[in-house]
């Protein structure tokens, strides 16, 4: 049985949802794409944006460009309280359950966006209790919280 299905998302357009209960640590879906050299991705204006949502670094030499229709995992939305995480092994990238996930829950992971001058352009609609309002990686969210406190 497939562990996931595509459904309209409450976060953004479409998303992936658990098709059954999924145990923590389960390999859910491969993040598929085309392997390109780091040199290629550095020189291609397509990847100019620092928030390269579909680009994963595999190692010193290679990146994985996941911006293809065949890559169903690209539909996974960001959440500030995610239930999945993405790990690379060799030249493969997989999405894993980082907690037990109930059937019907939307799958999500932390997009890992850095905190920089344009964070404001990436509002987050994950609606989790932990949401800071912007798509920013967990380790940098304290900056937003600090900003809010100072206001
Ligand atoms: C990789 S796609 C995710 C799939 C997308 N929902 C779709 O149907 O194509 C990434 C885009 O989804 C949107 N997105 C993902 N997570 C989001 C979130 N937590 N809040 C707002 N928009 C989000 C953003 O527009 C982002 O650029
Ligand atoms: Zn959020």
Pair of tokens at residue 123? 């509002």
Taking the C-alpha atoms of residue 147 and residue 136, their distance in angstroms, rounded to an integer, is 14
Q: Which residues line ligand 1 (CB under 6 A)?
A: 9, 11-15, 53, 74-75, 77-79, 124-126, 135
Long-range CB contacts (within 8 A, 24+) of 118-126: 118/50, 118/51, 119/144, 122/51, 124/78, 124/79, 124/80, 125/11, 125/12, 126/11, 126/77, 126/78, 126/79, 126/80, 126/81
Separation of CA 70 and ligand 2 centre (Å): 27
Taking the C-alpha atoms of residue 122 and residue 133, their distance in angstroms, rounded to an integer, is 9
Q: Tell me the pTM.
A: 0.93
Could you tell me the CATH superfamily of domain 4-114? SET domain (2.170.270.10)
Q: Considering every ligand atom, which ligand is closest to the CA of 144? A: 2
Give the residue extent of every domain in the chain. 4-114
Separation of CA 35 and ligand 2 centre (Å): 30
- pLDDT (tens, 9 = 90+) of the chain, 151 residues, equals 899 999 999 999 999 999 999 999 999 999 999 999 999 998 988 887 666 679 999 999 999 999 999 999 999 999 999 999 999 989 999 999 999 999 999 999 999 998 888 889 999 999 999 999 999 999 998 988 888 777 7
């Amino acid at each position: 049985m497939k562990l996931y299905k595509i459904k309209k998302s409450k976060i953004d357009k479409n998303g992936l949802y658990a098709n059954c209960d999924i145990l923590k640590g389960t390999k859910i879906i491969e993040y598929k794409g085309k392997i390109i050299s780091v040199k290629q991705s550095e020189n291609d204006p397509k990847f100019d944006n620092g928030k390269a949502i579909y680009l994963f670094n595999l190692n010193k030499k290679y990146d994985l460009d996941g911006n293809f229709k065949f890559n169903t995992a690209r539909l996974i939305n960001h959440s500030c309280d995610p239930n999945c995480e993405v790990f690379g092994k060799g030249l493969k990238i997989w999405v894993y359950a980082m907690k037990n996930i109930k059937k019907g829950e939307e799958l999500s992971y932390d997009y890992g966006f850095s905190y920089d001058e344009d964070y404001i352009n990436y509002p987050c609609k994950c609606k989790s209790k932990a949401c800071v309002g912007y798509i920013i990686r967990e380790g940098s969210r304290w900056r937003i919280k600090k900003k809010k406190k100072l206001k």
